[in-house]
Amino acid sequence: MKNSLIRPFLLSAAIAGSFGFYALNSKPTVVADPNNAGLKLLPGFGALVVAETGERARHIAITPQGNLYVKLNRPTKDGKGILELKAGPTGKATVTGGFGNYGGTGMVVKDGYLYASSDDDVFRYKLDAKGEVTNPTQPEKIITGLINRHQHEGKSIALDNAGNIYVNIGAYSNSCQVKDRQKGSLGQQNCPILDSAGGIWQFRADKPGQSYGAGTRFATGLRNVVGLDWNAQSNQLYVMQHGRDQLHDIFPELYDTKQSAELPAECMYALSKGANAGWPFLYYDPIQHKKILAPEYGGDGKKEADPKYLEPAVAYPAHTAPNALLFYTGTMFPEKYRNGAFIAFHGSWNRAPEPQKGYYIVFQPFKNGKPSGQWEVFADNFAGSPANAIAGHPDHKPCGLAQGPDGSLYVSEDKAGTIYRIVYNQK
Amino acid sequence: MLALLVLGASPAFAQKKTPAKAPAQKAATTGVPAAVLLKGKSVYTQSCLSCHQADGAGVDGLNPPLGKTDYVLGDKTRLINVLLNGLQGQDINGEPYHNVMPSQDYLTDQQMADVLTYVRNSFGNKASVVTVAEVKAVRGAKK
């Protein structure tokens, strides 16, 4: 009660204060590039190139002080798998440091630590009051010995607010066939891959040296998840699955190339402990709006899967490869974006010979911690042109998302290594 | 004002568009009969295109390109064995590719010879034909 009376007062004081600040200091502020960094954005939004790293920038994270950490898919020539960038007043950043001689994907800042993953392990580094890593050469290895068979090898990570870390362990297979991706090869019975992969594992965020024995298989039946984030409103983990490939190549008598391009959907799932999304036994058909029995397990494109498996929360276009998920909690963007999800789609390859698709950032509205309403493309043209996108030759492939302390949305990509910052600048 | 800027930016951007890359599908001039290339292309479209793409450029980090690589242009026995056995975990031109290439041994000797000849003479490649006898010999040695 008291708070609500005081709050408007504080707010107006803050606004007055900030106007004063800008009036007194004619310092340059963050401005969008004249061409919005080549992106197509919704009205009121602008974008700038923060930095050109020239590296395969996977996931990114930002400290409360604004230091940007970038996880590289493989280390630079001088052995740096994580880059540190600092921005000047206009938002343009320079690389100020690097460490961690391993490639990987995962990068998260949480409660005074920087978490990073290789394709086998998860590390954490202590951050000081300035957002600097204090132990760049001696991180704690909190998780170790995760399966890595070079397919779906990225160990994406997310943390909840109860001291747990969630790790994707992708299936080292397309659809758990006896012979992976082989035409006509059927599914392995009970899919033994699921014992050690094809799911999300939960570990403690503060305990060194954990492997499978110390963790819990939190959710299974997920082929490969690159984008995942904790939703603090519903207190739930949301993940984006990369759906299976090559229905036509493997079962040409059941699927033509057009069907193969549109099936299956890339799905968002809301996970609770013990959830089973059904890979490899099913895929989600976004045209029939049904969970369909996989042809490797006796399906014919119409037979429905066992209803016991988890229903997707939202279905997105096939093969567009969602590589990052971020729940937006900032106040820079208009109200409708608050607590909604941004999703970075890396873009397709498995739609050929049909036109390729993706290479954009989607906004998915949420209400009370649940998806609510139609998604829309929020930032497009990472490909550089529609022709580049259709041909599958994009200039940029969005891969990571992070929210800046001021509510800006940062995007990393692993084709040219560009780091973008999207701002809202309409008053 | 800012909305105007945003709107103003998009036509400017459209002008900067680079023209779409011409697909590298020039017919070979090595004296390979057009009919062989046509048959090879048909096998390629059916069995190879979805991963290696229509222009043979492959997919970054997943499926290797077929243009100007030693794997395609070099030793024919090794190349035939890639079709017979599949391939995984090999760097191509110094780059890792993570998808599994399955065995294509359901193709006939004729189909293998045609598609390999097509690949060796497409996507900017120019190399000798692969004969049915060569495929037969490698397949025979495998048994």
Domain CATH number, residue B75: 1.10.760.10
At residue A426, the pLDDT reads 76
- Token pair, residue A44, equals 């009121």
Contact A43 B99 (CB under 8 A): no
Say how many domains are in chain B.
Answer: 1
Q: pLDDT tens for residues A330-351? A: 999 999 999 999 999 999 999 9
CATH 2.120.10, applies to A102-402: yes
Residue range A170-181: average pLDDT? Answer: 97
Chain A interface, best mutation among B99, B105, B107, B111, by max A CB count within 10 A: B99
In a domain, B127, yes or no: yes
Task: Please check whether residue A53 is in contact with residue A95, taking contact to mean a CB–CB distance below 8 angstroms.
Answer: yes
Question: Reduced to 3 states, what is the DSSP secondary structure of residue A67?
Answer: coil
Average pLDDT, chain A: 94
Is the pLDDT at A314 greater than 50, yes or no?
yes
Question: Reduced to 3 states, what is the DSSP secondary structure of residue B132?
Answer: helix
Contact A425 B101 (CB under 8 A): no
Q: pLDDT tens for residues A200-250? A: 999 999 999 999 999 999 999 999 999 999 999 999 999 999 999 999 999
In eight-state DSSP terms, residue B21 is P
Is the pLDDT at A3 greater than 60, yes or no?
no
**What is the length of chain B?**
143
At residue A28, the pLDDT reads 57
Closest CA to A240 of A259, A216, A265: A265
At residue B93, the pLDDT reads 87
Q: Is the link from the previous residue into A280 a cis peptide, with omega within 30 of 0?
A: yes
At residue A425, the pLDDT reads 86
At residue B21, the pLDDT reads 45
The range of the structural domain enclosing residue B67 comes to 40-142
At residue B143, the pLDDT reads 66
At residue B14, the pLDDT reads 39
Residue range A39-45: average pLDDT? Answer: 97
At residue A5, the pLDDT reads 41
Share of chain A above pLDDT 90, in %: 92
Angle between helices B34-47 and B109-120 (to 10 degrees): 100
Indicate the domain borders of chain A. 102-402
- Token pair, residue B109, equals 């000797």
Q: Which residues of B touch A397 (CB under 8 A)?
A: 60
The Cα–Cα gap between B106 and B86 comes to: 12
Chain B interface, best mutation among A179, A349, A356, A397, by max B CB count within 10 A: A349
Choose the closest CB to B54 out of A73, A353, A388: A353
In a domain, B1, yes or no: no
In a domain, B31, yes or no: no
Task: Please check whether residue B71 is in contact with residue B64, taking contact to mean a CB–CB distance below 8 angstroms.
Answer: yes
To the nearest whole Å, the CA of A327 is away from the closest chain B CA by: 25
Closest CA to B39 of B141, B107, B118: B118
Share of chain A above pLDDT 70, in %: 93
pLDDT band at A392 (very low <50, low <70, confident <90, very high): very high
Closest CA to A303 of A311, A293, A289: A293
At residue B4, the pLDDT reads 38
In a domain, B102, yes or no: yes
In eight-state DSSP terms, residue A254 is T
Residues of chain B with pLDDT under 50: 1-28
At residue B3, the pLDDT reads 39
Choose the closest CB to A40 out of B2, B10, B57: B10
Is the pLDDT at A18 greater than 60, yes or no?
no
Choose the closest CB to B3 out of A44, A153, A384: A44
Task: Please check whether residue A64 is in contact with residue A404, taking contact to mean a CB–CB distance below 8 angstroms.
Answer: no
Q: pLDDT tens for residues A273-283? A: 999 999 999 99
The Cα–Cα gap between A202 and A146 comes to: 12
At residue B141, the pLDDT reads 87
At residue B110, the pLDDT reads 97
Choose the closest CB to A393 out of B6, B21, B62: B21
At residue A150, the pLDDT reads 86
Q: What is the ipTM of this complex?
A: 0.84
